[in-house]
Amino acid sequence: GCQNECTAGGCSGETAKHMTESFKASDLIITPATTFKEKPDPSGLVFGTVFTDNMLTIEWSLASGWEKPYIKPLENLSLHPASSSLHYAIELFEGMKAYRGVDGKIRLFRPTLNMDRMARSARRATLPCFDQNELLECIRKLVEVEKEWVPYSTAASLYIRPTLIGTEPSLGVKKPTKALLYVILSPVGPYFASGSFNPISLWADPKYVRAWKGGTGDCKLGGNYGSSIYAQQEALQLGCQQVLWLYGEDHQITEVGTMNLFLYWINEDG
């Protein structure tokens, strides 16, 4: 909860009464797809191009708060052309995976940390708070419905993409009064075509900065990624797969575009 008695974990002090209740996994309404797509060969998966049969959706409005969560067939979204996510990038996303172990069991890797970051991102983007445990249980139910989409492979997994977007149907830089939380699933192999354990090359140029003190680099907002594509294209043209992002006059190393970075350096003293 929060200082304003918000029961939705992750809220940092919303004063409006409508923010005090999260959706509940116990209210989940499941109307799954009745027609099914053919599942692809795990060895030929291209990241983010194939999606499962169902999705999770939860609508929110200032007037009504959170609606009941739904698991339903995957479908296109219907958005007003003035939606705030389209004009002002008031949106966020997460990325996590479900793996099928050699024992046949399906496991999510540290999903509570993804929920923590999603809540932080929502606060930063002025999107509605929610109970992280309730969302995680809704996601677990979705994965359970789509369990046959979790690849029977140690080299592939089911990528989970929770997304929260502002759907305010009016122009103006302001906090949205409507939002949509949805989750889609995609079976994936290695992110890079070279494979999971093969090295990639990095390109660094201090003229480009991805994150800075006081900015939104600690949040998973789409705007952080869209603005990085220009530098990424330059890296690709120079034969490198990713950008090594630098910051400050002393060119501090911050991160790589799609991953963390760890350095193992043997200095002059051994």
Residue-level pLDDT, tens digit, the chain, 270 residues: 443 334 444 454 554 444 458 999 999 999 999 999 999 999 899 999 999 999 999 999 999 999 999 999 999 999 999 999 999 999 999 999 999 999 999 999 999 999 999 999 999 999 999 999 999 999 999 999 999 999 999 999 999 999 999 999 999 999 999 999 999 999 999 776 665 667 889 999 999 999 999 999 899 999 999 999 999 999 999 999 999 999 999 999 999 987 788 888 898 887
Question: Can you point out the beta strands (E) in 123-228?
Answer: 157-166, 178-188, 202-203
Domains of the chain by residue range: 22-188, 202-256
So what CATH class is 22-188?
alpha beta
pLDDT recorded at residue 1: 41
pLDDT recorded at residue 245: 95
What lies within 8 Å, CB to CB, of 19 at 6+ separation is 4, 6, 8, 11, 65, 128, 129
Structure tokens at 41: 């060969």
Burial of 31 (0-12, 13-18, 19+ CB in 10 A): exposed
Residues 62/16, Cβ–Cβ less than 8 Å: yes
Distances (CA, A) of 66 to 25, 41, 210: 12, 38, 33
pLDDT recorded at residue 260: 80
pLDDT recorded at residue 257: 81
Considering the entire predicted model, what is its pTM? 0.89
